[in-house]
Chain A
Amino acid sequence: MKIFGIFIRKEFWHIFRDKRTLLILFGMPVVQVILFGFAITNEIKEAKIAILDKSHDHLTRQISNKLLSSGYFILYSQPESDNQLEKAFQEGKTKLAVVFEPEFAQRLNKDRHAGIQLIADATDPNTANMLIGYASAIIRNWQMDFLGNPKLPYTITPEVKMVYNPEMKSVFMFVPGVITIILMLVSAMMTSIAVTREKELGTMEVLLASPIKPFFIIVGKVIPYLVLSLFNASVILMLGTFLFGMPIEGNLLLLMAEVTLFIITSLALGIFISTRTSSQQTAMMISLMALMLPTIILSGFIFPVENMPLPLQVISNIIPAKWFIIIVKSIMLKGVGLGEILKETLILTGMAAFFIALSVKNFKIRLE
């Protein structure tokens, strides 16, 4: 048992004496959270709009005020003509334009019909769609208020309610994603590099020729990374909670237990990679290409799994990250207990067991 402690201490020495490793371990999580949190956001907040009011009556002013007081839009310019509007778009700052037709109030009174044109800059289609959606909703709202009780005998008004993430904040999406990527990176990539480094430097040869059991070599390698991964997960959770207001509705212990399960799966993957490669470079490339890429693309972190072509949907099932992201979201946002995520947990456990078995089977007591 004493030898265990010695191995772990040695591994920590390696980690803390290598600036690159330290940077990846502790710089990466913070940078990623900050990046995703502040830069890569697809929320609508204070989008710049132009209002071309060809009518200037009390109703158009009412609608404009309603739009601008929603918090989603700020008035950037008030062009006087279609030409000026065109220029405003070309400048690039204006994302949406609202155009009221001439004699808006009169027409509405007289013809019971008046037009508002919404023009969006669709160079960024997602944002354009969302802006149009928000603006239409606000105008619909105003319309209801204005008309009072509709005269029609039957009306169906769908009431849309977003649950679990009512404000559709993307932070709720990326915190689970960033945890997943960081854990994959630290656990799988860093351990596979740490093991292959010993092979490359020839120290593995000396370790193997000693009476130490390979099992101890591996567990001694893995435990420091398990500890560091847990630390990293906690840092990301704290950043998410305190900096971005992400809730943790469910049981924190259950969440950490699931995090540990995912770390173990990734560690086993990392060890498995290291048993099949002999240089740090290959280990890193394989970890990046075979683990990170699918984790980012197929896990549902960035692209919803439901929108993928069927073959990719099927493949996504073998990505551990997919199940982990479902688990984390369910616990953090829906506050579910183990019962509701039992299936995902079991799948992840199965994967962990499979990869552990695979790497134990592949770990050699000799050099080849």
Chain B
Amino acid sequence: MIQVQDIRKAYNKVQALDGISFEVGKGELFGIIGPDGAGKSTLFRILTTLLLPDSGTALVDGLDVVKDYKKIRNRIGYMPGRFSLYQDLTVEENLNFFASLFGTTVEANYDLIKDIFIMLEPFRKRRAGALSGGMKQKLALSCALIHAPKVLFLDEPTTGVDPVSRKEFWEMLAKLKEKGITILVSTPYMDEASLCDRVGLMQDGRIFTIDTPQAITRSFPKDLWEISGEHVYKLLKVLEKFSFTHAVHAFGEVVHLSLPKGGAGSLEIMEYLLENGCGQAEIKRIDAGIEDCFMEYMNEYA
């Protein structure tokens, strides 16, 4: 459904996209995972025909994003990164406006947005600017869906949204996927990666790897330990000096320590921590998450 071949794009001297290639199949929920400034929005704007790539080709539904931009604009739904609805129009007016923009009506495609719109129903007369973050996002999704697009581009749809609404949002995406809509979604939240069929890890205009979230975490090449119970900062400082350490990162209240496969066992780690005055720490062997993999790739490419 989407084919991207070696897309490059520079703003002045900053290389925003540095040779991006990937493919998304029909009905797939594909996630682009990466921190702010990775180039996700630029990629989305090129695919939604809003920007021209410097080089490379991209096809959406078999159509070239440069030559066939007019046809593509009929077939896609796009939800930009920031809230991009008319704040001074009501929920209903926004929906009707975007429906007529695509020459359709809310009624014609109502079953597609029904699940989402039911939640918005009580606020239909309220101005979009006065909605909560989660509601705004649902409205934006409804507006992007109202013309039954073949491909849905969602640029950081869950940024700035509360955890409950985020969860609801991903449930909605799963339902849309069942209806056969191809979805390309970007997010800086690593924990959302597991909800995608496949993900691409993106940083500094490049994609490190593309695979299913499970395959990515399974291929983590190191032993991973979670260490907790002490001051995180102290643990970090101490573990950085551990001779076996490959990498150590803070994950909120805990520290993730990666060591070469079979490099050191729990005894050796405990012993080292004791020697360095961190005897209270608890250690636990864990499976890698997407974030660990992301860090690992960043290390590798740095």
Contact = CB atoms under 8 A, between A and B. Distances in A.
Interface in A348-368: 365-368
A362 B97 CA distance: 26
A209 B100 contact: no
Contacts of B116: none
B238 interface: no
A108 to B, nearest CB: 77
B203 to A, nearest CB: 23
A340 interface: no
A212 B73 CA distance: 9
A205 B50 contact: yes
A211 B84 contact: no
A125 B241 CA distance: 86
Contact of B100 (A6, A14, A201): A6
Interface in B168-205: none
A14 B83 CA distance: 17
A18 interface: yes
Contacts of B144: 206
B200 to A, nearest CB: 22
B86 interface: yes
A366 B93 CA distance: 26
Given A6-B100, A13-B88, A202-B83, A209 B51 contact: no
B51 A205 contact: no
Given A3-B100, A365-B69, A208 B84 contact: no
B101 interface: yes
A360 to B, nearest CB: 17
Nearest to B47: A209
Interface string A183-214: 00000000000000000011101111111100
Contacts of A366: 49-52, 69
A2 interface: yes
B86 A14 contact: yes
Interface string B77-103: 010111111111100010011101111
A368 to B, nearest CB: 6
A205 B140 CA distance: 13
A112 interface: no
A209 B78 contact: yes
A36 to B, nearest CB: 33
B70 interface: yes
B74 interface: yes
A10 interface: yes
B51 A207 contact: no
User: Interface extent on B, as a size class?
Assistant: 20 to 34
B51 A367 contact: yes
Contacts of A201: 82, 84, 86-87
Contacts of A13: 86, 88-89, 93
B102 A211 contact: yes
Contact of B74 (A10, A202, A211, A367): A211
Contacts of B38: none
Interface in A128-154: none
B88 A14 contact: yes
B48 interface: yes
A203 B84 contact: yes
Contacts of A207: 101
Contacts of A58: none
A2 to B, nearest CB: 7
Contacts of B86: 10, 13-14, 201, 203
Contacts of A208: 50
A84 to B, nearest CB: 66
A17 interface: yes
A275 to B, nearest CB: 16
A367 B102 CA distance: 20
A110 B83 CA distance: 94
Interface in B24-49: 45, 48-49
23 contacts: A3-B101, A6-B97, A10-B86, A10-B97, A13-B86, A13-B88, A13-B93, A14-B86, A201-B86, A202-B83, A203-B84, A203-B86, A205-B45, A205-B50, A205-B80, A205-B84, A206-B80, A206-B84, A209-B78, A211-B101, A212-B101, A366-B52, A367-B51
Interface of A: 2-3, 6, 10, 13-14, 17-18, 201-203, 205-212, 365-368
Interface of B: 45, 48-52, 69-70, 73-74, 76, 78, 80-89, 93, 96-98, 100-103, 143-144
The 3 closest A-B pairs by CB, nearest first: A202-B84, A209-B78, A211-B74
